[in-house]
A and B are shown apart, each in its own frame.
Chain A
Amino acid sequence: MLRFLVFILFLVSSFLSAKIIKINTGNEQNTIASAIKNASDYDTIIVSRGRYTESNLIISKKLRMIGVNDPVIDAAKGGSIFHVRSSGVTIRGFVLINTTVSYTVENSAIKIENADSCRIENNQFKNNFFGIYLLGAANCLIKGNRFVSYGKSEAGSGNGIHLWKCRNITIEGNRIQGHRDGIYLEFAQNCLVKDNYSSDNRRYGMHFMFSNSCTYEHNTFTGNSAGVAVMFTRYVNMHNNRFENNWGTGSYGLLLKEIYNSTISGNTFNNNSVGLYSEGSNKIIIENNIFIKNGWAVRLMANSMDNVFRNNDFLMNTFEISTNSTQNFNNFDDNYWSQYKGYDLNKDGKGDIPHHPVSLYSILVEKNSTALLLLRSFLVEILNYSEKVFPILTPEKLVDNSPSMSRIN
């Protein structure tokens, strides 16, 4: 009890000592930089409407930076805008624009370095190189921000939200557009990526490497030039996301490389060249997903093993499953396949004859991509049909023994 009282007292006293510093454009002396310099821990700096041309604002105190009526901070002089080096910093309600492209320094609108418990909320980021850059941060919240950038090339643009060696970061409800990677996580542990909308980025909607035990759910990734890539990671949970409209050669809805012990459930893969591409990924449970109108719903390389595909809907895909092996060590039972042509005489909802989701043509294409020129030709239909009747070249064991007769999800 005493401890609690002391804590309350401490809190109250810290609030009492905290100042509120107001900044506006009218006063030449009154810059954000000087306000930060004069402030002490737990102060609040309120920046009102206007256009401020300031950059390299190093925050090494526990400050609350609040923008009222969308003040604009322009980084025209070069460098980053906010460089946070203290824990417990809040940055809210700013419009941060024009950090310049550099090939040696990651100029970012907000850079957080080795800090704890920071909150970045409801800011707008326009035409920046990097949006938010977190190095060695922990327990931070990035919420409700909007990022728009206009990078022309992959090399000449930065990431929207970039995490490097972070722990327990929550990225929630952001909209990211036109960066290199919308969200980039490397060596990030226990992070939650939720309700974000990442579209039209130069490379990946989200890029994810060496980031164990992360969860991402209810995000939408659409129109990115290469979709979403998840690599070299264990224990990832991907739930209820939408992967859409990633068309083009070398474009994927979701790319998995060396992923282990993860679950992918309730996601929708709509209108991608390749819905789910898996290379060297093992022990993944893929359930209750919808694969609709993709070129390839799933491309599973031979080094992917012990994965379980169950209760998924495969609807109107050009190729349902494609693989480069005649062996199969994955399980495909209990899915719904719109290309299934079987029947259900005993009315148990499961087809009576097994479904082979790999067509002969997809094998041919996998071995020799020039054969794609014959897509939808009469010959291909005949070849596929004859192979279905009497399978020789397609992997015999890659089979759904109890295909569902109706849509599951």
Chain B
Amino acid sequence: MNTLYKITGYELRNLTRSKWTVLFTAIYFIICESLFLLEDQGAKVVLSLFNFILLFIPVISLFFGITFINNEKPFIELLLSQPVRRRDIFNGLYISLSLALTATMLIGVGLPLAFHFHSSKIPSDLLLIFLGSSILMNQVFIGIAFFGAFFFSDKSKGLIFVIGFWLFTFILYDMGILVLSYILKDYPIEKLMMILTVTNPVDVGRILILLQFDVAALMGYSAAIYQMTFGNIFSSAILLAILFVWSFIPYYISKTLFRNSDFII
């Protein structure tokens, strides 16, 4: 346990000194604050922030995450030559990166939100869903970055995997859903499509936003299923749970990979 603290502490110090984390915090802060300048209705600010975060978090977590681990690889190998448990090394890395990226987001977004909380009447359930889902999204993509880094021993292959994953979740997957919905359009496929949509973390985030809007009514039958069977809060909770599962699975797989890896270079 002691070594876990030490590794986490060391990596955190390393990360907080990085110019990148400061830059990310600044970007979050500026975006959030300027949205409040443009719009004084808190709910709308949170929703546009949600849209922005949905695009920004995966990029940061994936690319910053994988470059961070790749940079730390020599240090990891050094640690592995010492009598240190592999679990502690992995968890130390994971926790420190998660903490650092979550903190950049929470500070960058949280400060303006806390400051404007009363004046612009942000609905607290919306705020909770927003914060919960952005933290979970962060975890999902950090997990994927770890998977990419430890599954491919070649650094560039890992990077290519991460780019591919980003492209897949953002565009290709939805494209597949669109094509499938055309092929099967004569069948009652609403439920199938709904299940397929919520298997993609980016789509889960998007639907979480839509459910907070009235726009959900546009989505017709499918959104009606979400809303009527579960209610707004409950369906949001289910979607958050799906994100939680999504954040756990890559973490678990990459941890197993790390423990069984040979680290021969």
Contacts and interface: CB of A to CB of B under 8 A. Distances in A.
Tell me if chain B binds chain A.
yes
Interface of A: 247-249, 251, 271, 273, 295-296, 318, 364, 367-380, 382
A377 B206 contact: yes
Q: How large is the interface on B (under 10, 10 to 19, 20 to 34, 35 or more residues)?
A: 20 to 34
A379 B167 CA distance: 10
A368 B215 contact: no
A370 B193 contact: yes
Interface in B201-248: 202-203, 206-207, 209-210, 214-215, 217-224
B171 A379 contact: yes
Given A371-B181, A373-B177, A373-B193, A378 B171 contact: yes
A270 B209 CA distance: 21
B194 interface: yes
B178 A372 contact: no
14 contacts: A248-B217, A251-B217, A273-B218, A369-B220, A369-B221, A372-B220, A372-B223, A373-B193, A373-B219, A377-B202, A378-B170, A379-B174, A379-B175, A379-B178
Contacts, number: 73
B190 interface: yes
Contact of B218 (A318, A364, A367, A368): A318
Contacts of B51: 376
Given A368-B181, A368-B185, A374 B222 contact: no
Contacts of A364: 178
Interface in B52-93: 55
A369 B222 CA distance: 10
A402 to B, nearest CB: 30
A348 to B, nearest CB: 30
B182 interface: yes
A367 B202 CA distance: 25
B226 to A, nearest CB: 10
B121 to A, nearest CB: 19
Nearest to A375: B219
Interface string B23-52: 000000000000000000000000000010
A247 B214 contact: yes
Contact of A378 (B174, B182, B215, B222): B174
B206 A376 contact: yes
A374 B177 contact: yes
B171 A382 contact: yes
B228 to A, nearest CB: 11
Interface of B: 51, 55, 170-171, 174-175, 177-178, 181-182, 185, 189-190, 193-194, 197, 202-203, 206-207, 209-210, 214-215, 217-224
A372 B218 contact: yes
A402 B215 CA distance: 30
B170 A249 contact: no
Contacts of A271: 214
Contact of A377 (B190, B203, B214, B223): B203
B108 to A, nearest CB: 22
Closest 4 CB pairs of A and B: A379-B174, A295-B218, A370-B181, A372-B219
Nearest to B218: A295
Contact of B182 (A273, A368, A373): A368
B151 to A, nearest CB: 25
A375 B215 contact: yes
Contact of A379 (B55, B170, B210): B170
Given A295-B217, A379-B171, A370 B206 contact: no
A251 B224 CA distance: 13
A385 to B, nearest CB: 13
Contacts of A248: 217
A249 B185 contact: no
B217 A373 contact: no
Contacts of B171: 378-379, 382
Contact of A370 (B174, B190, B209): B190
A375 B175 CA distance: 12
A370 B185 contact: yes
Contacts of A376: 51, 206, 209-210, 215
A369 B219 CA distance: 8
B193 to A, nearest CB: 5
